[in-house]
Amino acid sequence: MSFSGEIKKELEKKTFTKNSARAFLRDAFLETGSMSNPEKGYHLEFVCEDEERAGKLIETMRTFEIAAKTVQRKRYTVVYIKESEDIVKLLNVMGAHNCLMNLENLRILKDMRNSINRRVNCETANISKTVSAANKQIEDIQYIKEHYGFDDLNENLREMAVIRLEYPDATLKELGAYLVPPVGKSGVNHRLRKLSELADSIRGKEK
């Protein structure tokens, strides 16, 4: 967990050239660095014996616009990076191009998986919401049928009530297509809302 003589000599320099900075970071990582399995999480670190060395690492990485932080672990100062973009930058700076490409491919795969999961979750939530709404509509229409009947409904609401009961799994768009003449989604939603309001009104009167 300590730096070699060559790195210690570099640490004594006040400034680095770009090439020597790259070599310094590469050699430091080979001696004291490690990276966790990116499939489980992004984490790259250097374990330093003192804060001075940790500070030099952070300062050097900053010249490449790489953000790193420190944490104390027993008697060691650990310089770490958790952002995948910064880890990619550091791998590029150190010339670890094969590792960089593997990480980039994994990042792309993880981003795709996350995107698909978000889309599936969203679609699942929408389906659940649609099913719940349809069940409530059918429940309200059944209540109207049993406690009020359809005969006194105006033609539009009566047709809507019959179609909703006949096609319990249909979407608003599909329900509108079954009506004569066809009605758009907003028109279907308006009629179903009127039926729901009527059911609530009948329930209120019976209490």
Place of tokens 């279907």: 188
Is the bond into 181 cis (omega within 30 degrees of 0)? yes
Say if CB 138 and CB 164 are below 8 A apart: yes
Q: pLDDT per residue over 76-118, tens digit each?
A: 999 999 998 999 999 999 998 888 888 888 888 888 888 999 9
Helical spans, DSSP H, in the chain? 5-12, 18-32, 51-62, 84-94, 97-147, 155-166, 172-178, 185-206
Tokens coding 164: 């909703």
Q: Is the pLDDT at 10 greater than 70, yes or no? A: no
Q: Is the pLDDT at 203 greater than 80, yes or no? A: yes
Name the more confident of 159 and 16.
Answer: 159
Tokens coding 9: 């000599």
Q: What is the mean pLDDT of residues 30-53?
A: 90
Tokens coding 161: 């009530």
Q: What residues are paired with 70 via a beta bridge?
A: 79
Name the more confident of 44 and 5.
Answer: 44
Torsion of CA 98, 100, 103, 108, to 10 degrees: -110
Q: According to the model, what pLDDT value does residue 162 have?
A: 95
CA–CA distance, 6 with 162 (Å, rounded to integer): 86
Closest residue by Cα to residue 44 from 18, 66, 63, 65: 66
Q: What is the mean pLDDT of residues 20-39?
A: 89
Q: pLDDT per residue over 126-141, tens digit each?
A: 888 888 999 999 999 9
Q: According to the model, what pLDDT value does residue 72 have?
A: 93
Q: Is the pLDDT at 1 greater than 50, yes or no? A: no
